[in-house]
Chains A and B, each alone.
Chain A
Amino acid sequence: KQEVTQIPAALSVPEGENLVLNCSFTDSAIYNLQWFRQDPGKGLTSLLLIQSSQREQTSGRLNASLDKSSGRSTLYIAASQPGDSATYLCAVRFSGTYKYIFGTGTRLKVLA
């Protein structure tokens, strides 16, 4: 069964820390992987998309890496800020499918 898992489920850090969010998936045959941010009561905002052929993508203070062989992706957030507080979701589109399968997310709280 194709599954996506995110660890940790929740994370609380002081402002300014660099942090890593983890996403693992059960099948290395993927089409792409997407990281989202979700604020309470809001929809999902796309952060980064990594295609199967790519190893990483960067946007500002965010860097996402992909290691298909080990079934892992990490989202690195540099110099965290209170405004980064949100739930971060990882979604995988496995090869041969249209749909994205989501992890349960990591709830991040950055303390001022």
Chain B
Amino acid sequence: GAGVSQSPRYKVAKRGQDVALRCDPISGHVSLFWYQQALGQGPEFLTYFQNEAQLDKSGLPSDRFFAERPEGSVSTLKIQRTQQEDSAVYLCAIPQLSPGTGELFFGEGSRLTVL
């Protein structure tokens, strides 16, 4: 999606490994969302940032999940000691800046497969 770059696009991890997924929005976006999409399901909210502040992390499934956005731009979602149930597509989204309708735009996602 235009305006949001995610990497890696594909990640295969052995169970127990730590992974880091990156979201790089075009500059100027205050708000940033992370979603998790399991196969055949709709995206599920994980966490929300305004600038560097993580205002809502209620969707993070466990304390193995951690997200940060230290400079209010690039965000990283880290998953420690990955489990098979963590296999999913992780999506980053930003709202449209102008005219500020709140329309949400998504990146292409990072597909995580835990073996």
Is B74's beta carbon under 8 Å from chain A? no
Is B43's beta carbon under 8 Å from chain A? yes
Give the number of A-B contacts (CB < 8 Å). Answer: 62
Contacts A89-B42, A102-B42, A103-B42; A45 near B48 (Cβ below 8 A): no
Decide: A44 and B102 in contact? CB cutoff 8 A.
no
B side interface size, CB within 8 A: 26
Is B66's beta carbon under 8 Å from chain A? no
Residues of chain B contacted by A103 (CB below 8 angstroms): 42
- Looking at chain A's contact residues, the main secondary structure is strand
A44 to B35, CA, bound (A): 11
Determine how close the nearest CB of chain B comes to the CB of A30; give it in whole angstroms. 11
Residues of chain B touching chain A, judged by Cβ–Cβ distance below 8 Å, are 1, 31, 33, 35, 40-45, 48, 55-56, 59, 91, 93, 101-109, 111
